[in-house]
């Protein structure tokens, strides 16, 4: 078996979700279609609620920032209170969400709404999150060895907790010491990793970040975080240069902690 030695200074393992702990297919074939199929009805049902209005407010602010982008879908400022006005607004939000999702955008506004929508599906038991078989045993082992395990995903913290709380392996939320999402910064920006280290109360070189996306690995590495690129079935291919440059793992069981035999 291939083994990747974890440097002795590492005390924190920071995990990406999609493509690392969880198959991309689960996200693309189950989570995302749920949003596209239900967003209109969700907005119609929850429109008057504070949480929904906050989500729409964030999406509108994001739409303003995106106005210069090709194909961007605007969300007009709130008009009157007529039924037709509301339906038009809801349609604009639906179109904006679908446009963002067609580009797999990772905006905080989109991810916040998605998290709120998945809440109902997970709580009702209509969905269970998939994790690769090696994830839970490895995380348990790391924690027994004294490692802290944190999550950093573009999915909102609320969505992350839903996945870990309602998984095919049961409720595994207790295996995670903390969660980060794009509110701390985007995953392709090195500053985000410095902020995460600060927030955890350590140095960036105490962290090992596991991700499937080399742009994320590169940003983390620029901040002096240790990185390994996770190769899973269904992930995007890597170039030969990337394969040579990065430490690769196909299973968490390939990580060898300094104290482990
Ligand atoms: C954790 S929520 C579901 C996945 C998601 O919406 C997403 O954007 C995943 O991004 P990641 O950073 O985990 O690759
Ligand atoms: Mg990922």
Task: Give the span between the Cα atoms of 48 and 243, in whole angstroms.
Answer: 50
* pLDDT at residue 260, rounded to an integer: 60
Q: Is 27 in the pocket of ligand 1 (CB under 6 A)?
A: yes
* pLDDT at residue 83, rounded to an integer: 66
18 is in an annotated binding site: yes
Task: Give the span between the Cα atoms of 186 and 240, in whole angstroms.
Answer: 26
* pLDDT at residue 81, rounded to an integer: 65
Task: Give the span between the Cα atoms of 197 and 202, in whole angstroms.
Answer: 5
* DSSP secondary structure string for all residues of 149-196: EEEE-SS-HHHHHHHHHSBTTB--GGG-SEEE-TTS--TT-HHHHHHH
Residue 15's closest CA among 229, 183, 233? 229
- Which of 150, 155, 156, 216 should be mutated for ligand 1, with most atoms under 8 A from CB? 155
Residues near 255 by Cβ (< 8 Å), separated by ≥ 6?
3, 4, 6, 13, 138, 142, 208, 228, 249
Atom of ligand 1 nearest to the CA of 160: 1
Atom of ligand 1 nearest to the CA of 211: 14
Distance of CA 60 to the CA centre of its chain: 22
Instruction: Read off the tokens for 107.
Output: 């905006």
Alpha helices in 8-132 (DSSP H): 24-26, 32-46, 50-65, 83-102, 108-123
Q: At what angle do helices 190-200 and 214-222 cross, to 10 degrees?
A: 60
Task: Give the span between the Cα atoms of 232 and 55, in whole angstroms.
Answer: 33
Atom of ligand 1 nearest to the CA of 19: 14
* pLDDT at residue 84, rounded to an integer: 72
* pLDDT at residue 77, rounded to an integer: 86
pLDDT tens digit string along 27-59?
Answer: 999 999 999 999 999 999 999 999 999 999 999
Q: What is the pTM of this model?
A: 0.94
- The residue whose CA has the least distance to atom 14 of ligand 1 is 18
Output the CA 83–ligand 2 centroid distance in Å. Answer: 40
* pLDDT at residue 259, rounded to an integer: 72
* DSSP secondary structure string for all residues of 229-253: EE--TTSPP--HHHHHHS-EESSGG
Instruction: Read off the tokens for 197.
Output: 């280290």
Q: Is 162 in the pocket of ligand 1 (CB under 6 A)?
A: no
> Across the 261 residues of the chain, what is the mean pLDDT of every consecutive 10-residue run?
92 98 98 98 96 97 97 85 82 98 97 96 94 98 98 97 96 98 97 98 98 98 98 98 98 90 51
Q: Is 105 in the pocket of ligand 1 (CB under 6 A)?
A: no
pLDDT tens digit string along 123-148?
Answer: 999 999 999 999 999 999 999 999 99
Output the CA 81–ligand 1 centroid distance in Å. Answer: 35
ipTM over 0.85: yes
Output the CA 19–ligand 1 centroid distance in Å. Answer: 9
Atom of ligand 1 nearest to the CA of 151: 13
- The residue whose CA has the least distance to atom 3 of ligand 1 is 155
């Amino acid at each position: 078996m291939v083994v990747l030695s974890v440097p002795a200074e590492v005390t924190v393992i920071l995990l990406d979700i999609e493509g690392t702990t969880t198959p991309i297919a689960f996200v693309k074939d189950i989570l995302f279609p749920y949003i596209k199929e239900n967003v209109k009805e969700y907005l119609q049902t929850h429109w008057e609620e504070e949480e929904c209005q906050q989500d729409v407010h964030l999406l509108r602010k994001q739409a303003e920032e995106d106005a210069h982008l090709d194909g961007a879908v605007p969300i007009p400022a709130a008009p009157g209170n007529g039924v037709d006005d509301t339906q038009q607004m809801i349609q604009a939000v639906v179109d904006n969400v679908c446009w963002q999702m067609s580009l797999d955008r990772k905006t905080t506004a989109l991810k916040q709404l998605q998290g709120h929508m998945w809440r109902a599906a997970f709580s009702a038991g209509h969905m269970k999150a998939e994790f690769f078989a090696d994830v839970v045993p490895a995380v348990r082992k790391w924690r027994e060895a004294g490692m802290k395990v944190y999550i950093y995903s573009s999915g909102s913290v609320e969505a992350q907790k839903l996945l870990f709380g309602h998984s095919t392996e049961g409720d595994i939320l207790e295996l995670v010491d903390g969660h980060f999402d794009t509110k701390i910064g985007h995953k392709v920006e090195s500053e985000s990793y410095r902020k995460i280290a600060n927030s955890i109360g350590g140095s960036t070189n105490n962290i090992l970040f596991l991700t499937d996306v080399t742009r994320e690995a590169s940003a983390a590495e620029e901040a002096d975080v240790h990185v390994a690129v996770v190769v899973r079935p269904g992930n995007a291919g890597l170039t030969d240069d990337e394969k040579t440059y990065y430490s690769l793992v196909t299973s968490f069981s390939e990580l060898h902690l300094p104290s482990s035999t």
